[in-house]
């Protein structure tokens, strides 16, 4: 299937490893030139080399997405290096604050929104002028099933829910301008250096097996490639009737019917 996006330019945040890297590789296989950002130069260099090996132009930029004020500079570097951004994938996210409401400091709660929402929001604003001018653009925000239903920790769940809401509103406000905005809600996806990989290595086998039996209908953790390939599809001409959607990729893990 020809996705019709060869020659486009994409920016994938958190693209040096995990879901972001797999999404960047899926786009590159379709002929998309890809910029990625991350916090570690060596990891960026390795991922950039993998992208270039697929025959596309690639760029790695050191940037911290939790610093929204730094996003205009990131955008300028990508435009200078590869050209105007046609496809934005807001993938960077996570949360280190595990406390419930009685014990969660406000600053820690805000930090989850800085990482999962505000940086991506600023990047959406940065790429929109070009997308609106050419009347074509794709924005894909990586959320979580724990932004759709209860699960995870308070700060992560709240920030991902806000990201899904912002995606829906932005999609409807841009629907007549050729700019499509969607979110993806992965379930428990295991990948190197990811939280579910750490969960499996840090806990006794019986604890891991209990989690799997209670939560994962397929009897195993998810893997990144289905998420990456969905990113490429949503970025494509083939998905030109899909906007404002939140698509779940979780092997049946979630309980929500909508």
Catalytic center residues: 156
Nearest alpha carbon to residue 175 among 139, 145, 200: 139
Alpha carbon 124 to its chain centroid, in Å, reads 13
Angle at 109 between CA 193 and CA 172, to 5 degrees: 85
**Are β-strands 58-62 and 87-90 bridged in parallel, bridged antiparallel, or unpaired?**
unpaired
**Host H or E run for residue 182:** strand 179-186
CA distances from 253 to 151, 162, 212, 218 (A): 11, 21, 10, 8
Taking the chain, what is the end-to-end CA distance rounded to the nearest angstrom? 29
Bridge partners of 184, per DSSP, are 142, 247
Cα–Cα distance measured from residue 223 to residue 14, given in angstroms and rounded to the nearest whole number: 17
Which residues are within 8 A (CB) of 128 and not within 5 positions of it... i.e. 6 or more apart?
A: 137, 174, 179
**Quick one: tokens of 168?**
């829906």
Q: Which helix (H) or strand (E) holds 45?
A: helix 41-52
Tell me what percent of the chain is helix, strand and coil, each rounded to the nearest 5. 50, 15, 35
């Amino acid at each position: 299937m020809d996705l019709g996006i060869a020659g486009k330019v994409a920016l994938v945040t958190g693209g040096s490893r995990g879901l972001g890297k797999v999404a960047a590789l899926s786009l590159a296989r379709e002929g998309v030139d890809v910029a990625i950002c991350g916090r570690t130069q060596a990891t960026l260099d390795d991922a950039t080399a993998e992208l270039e090996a697929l025959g596309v132009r690639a760029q790695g930029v050191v940037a911290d997405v939790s610093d929204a004020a730094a996003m205009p500079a990131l955008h300028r570097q990508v435009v200078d290096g590869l050209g105007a951004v046609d496809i934005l994938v807001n993938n960077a996210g996570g949360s280190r604050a595990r406390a419930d409401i009685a014990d969660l400091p406000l600053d820690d709660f805000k930090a989850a929104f800085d990482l999962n929402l505000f940086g991506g929001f600023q990047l959406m604003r940065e790429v929109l002028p070009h997308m609106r001018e050419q009347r074509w653009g794709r924005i894909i925000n990586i959320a979580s099933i724990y932004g759709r239903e209860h699960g995870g920790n308070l700060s992560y769940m709240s920030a991902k829910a806000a990201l899904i809401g912002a995606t829906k509103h932005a999609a409807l406000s841009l629907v007549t301008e050729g700019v499509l905005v969607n979110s993806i809600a992965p379930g428990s996806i295991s990948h190197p250096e990811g939280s579910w990989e750490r969960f499996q290595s840090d806990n006794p086998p019986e604890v891991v097996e209990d989690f799997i039996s209670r939560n994962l209908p397929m009897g195993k953790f998810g893997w990144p490639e289905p998420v990456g390939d969905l990113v490429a599809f949503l970025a494509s001409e083939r998905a030109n009737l899909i906007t404002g959607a939140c698509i779940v990729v979780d092997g049946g893990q979630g309980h929500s019917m909508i």
